[in-house]
């Protein structure tokens, strides 16, 4: 072979090897398709090893945004110098760099959001709308999710509140998938239009218009590969009145998860009740019946609620549930912050469940009627061992930790100071 030909072959081979090595490095460094995210109250034993913290994930997602950020938030509450400040600063910087930022806030909590609204509303590239859910369905915009570049979704219990980053226990998740992002964007766009024109009959006519993509549903879920194992993920939204007809509601999927449990069901949620606490009074049996039926089938059901759930009649309900064989309930009281009492903080605000160490739920709403019937919320339903095992480890750390106390049917428990 001529020298020139050999040299070209060697150079070509070297270039190919470099490309392969580069691809391998990129593959190794690519972020996972699904990540569980945890907020850890300072001064507590919480914090699962290997699980990233909320502020770090939010900053990474925002700082890498190139085209768009769509945020649905119950409210935004900042304290200068606290953990949310760098997040808001990053949002402003990306908007100034040309990223289109849309923020949807709840109308009833605008007093809490006013300072952040005044800070953000006048900034180039940031558009804010207020959704009057109270006037539309009698509920609130309680969802906490955002979409970056039509490719990445964050959803979880974390409000856009400085306390949610360092003073409250929270669980969320990141999904990197264009199809999932489009699914959440469809829910966001529906409510975004309603915020501009709160005409619910007109919105319901739009709700039947077919999508131009395949939305992620329970019947057509997202299937991903992570660490050599499949993950099957679907999305759920509430309430039915404030979402396109072709998106899946949360409650039927949550009931299927509970009904599908065969051995174990672990639940951590701030509040849980069959009493209708917001809106018309009455009894709501859907989740209650599913939980009791699971226990009657022999499923070991463990539930952690926040001490905020000790108010009546919720405490009475939890005691009645604790009477069931195979159901154990504990409430959590976090220690006061090192700097002293902080209003609306130091609480278990997580909303997740794990069945049989293979099926998981991560959501934004508490477990009572209004959060599914009148209030805007969102959630993920995941089938896969790895995320279930991560959530189980977080649950067991709480369940076996120093901050929980079992709720006994004959006990009496004083609700905590909240503000």
pLDDT band at 369 (very low <50, low <70, confident <90, very high): very high
278-308 pLDDT tens trace: 888 999 999 999 999 999 999 999 999 999 9
Residues 399-414: what's their mean pLDDT?
Answer: 98
Whole-number Cα distances in Å, 274 to 300, 323, 331, 373: 20, 15, 17, 13
Active site residues: 142, 144, 149, 349
- Token pair, residue 226, equals 């992570």
Q: Which residue has the tokens 């917001």?
A: 278
User: Can you give the pLDDT at residue 4?
Assistant: 47
pLDDT per position as a tens digit, 44-60: 999 999 999 999 999 99
> What is the C-alpha to C-alpha distance for residues 94 and 330, in angstroms, rounded to an integer?
43
pTM: 0.93
What span, in angstroms and rounded, lies between the C-alpha atoms of 41 and 336?
10
330-339 pLDDT, tens per residue? 999 999 999 9
- In the predicted model, what is the mean pLDDT of residues 197-202? 96
pLDDT the model gives residue 7: 45
Q: pLDDT digit string (tens) for 127-163?
A: 999 999 999 999 999 999 999 999 999 999 999 999 9
d(CA 105, CA 77): 12
**Closest-CA residue to 76 (of 85, 67, 66):** 85
Between strands 68-73 and 222-226, the pairing is: unpaired
Q: List strands edge to edge, sheet with 145-148.
A: 34-39, 170-176, 152-156, 145-148, 68-73, 100-106, 126-131
- Taken in order of first residue, the domains within the chain and their CATH numbers are 34-195+215-406 (3.30.870.10)
């Amino acid at each position: 072979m001529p020298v020139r030909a050999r040299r070209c072959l060697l150079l070509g081979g070297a270039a190919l090897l470099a490309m392969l090595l580069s691809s391998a490095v990129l593959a190794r460094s690519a972020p996972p398709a699904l990540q569980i995210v945890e907020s850890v109250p300072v001064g507590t034993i919480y914090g699962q090893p290997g699980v990233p913290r909320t502020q770090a994930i939010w900053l990474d997602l925002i700082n890498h945004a190139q085209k768009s950020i769509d945020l649905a938030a119950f409210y935004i509450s900042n304290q200068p110098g606290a953990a949310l400040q760098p997040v808001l600063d990053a949002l402003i910087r990306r908007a100034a760099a040309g990223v289109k930022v849309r923020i949807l806030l709840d109308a009833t909590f605008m007093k809490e959001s006013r300072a952040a609204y005044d800070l953000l509303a006048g900034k180039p590239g940031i558009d804010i709308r207020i959704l009057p859910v109270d006037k539309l369905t009698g509920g609130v915009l309680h969802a906490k999710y955002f979409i970056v570049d039509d490719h990445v979704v964050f959803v979880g219990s974390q409000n856009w509140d400085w306390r949610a980053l360092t003073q409250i226990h929270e669980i969320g998740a990141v999904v990197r998938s264009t199809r999932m992002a489009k699914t959440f964007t469809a829910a966001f766009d529906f409510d975004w239009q309603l915020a501009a024109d709160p005409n619910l009959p007109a919105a319901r006519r739009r709700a039947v218009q077919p999508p131009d993509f395949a939305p992620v549903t329970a019947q057509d879920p997202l299937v991903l590969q992570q660490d050599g194992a499949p993950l099957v993920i679907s999305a759920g939204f509430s309430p039915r009145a404030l979402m396109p007809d072709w998106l899946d509601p949360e409650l039927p999927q949550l009931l299927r998860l509970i009904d599908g449990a065969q051995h174990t069901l672990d639940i951590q949620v701030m509040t849980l009740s069959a009493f209708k606490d917001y809106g018309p009074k009455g009894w709501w049996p859907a989740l209650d019946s599913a939980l009791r039926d699971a226990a009657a089938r022999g499923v070991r059901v463990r539930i952690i609620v926040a001490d905020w759930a000790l108010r009546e009649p919720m405490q009475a309900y939890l005691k009645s549930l604790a009477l069931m064989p195979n159901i154990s309930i504990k409430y959590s009281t976090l220690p006061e912050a090192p700097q002293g009492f902080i209003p609306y903080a130091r609480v278990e605000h997580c909303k997740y469940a794990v069945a049989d160490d293979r099926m998981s739920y991560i959501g934004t709403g508490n477990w009572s009627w209004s959060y599914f019937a009148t209030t805007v919320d969102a959630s993920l339903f995941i089938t896969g061992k790895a995320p279930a095992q991560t959530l189980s480890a977080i649950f067991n750390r709480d369940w076996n930790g120093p901050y929980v106390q079992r709720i006994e049917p004959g006990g009496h428990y004083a609700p905590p100071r909240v503000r």
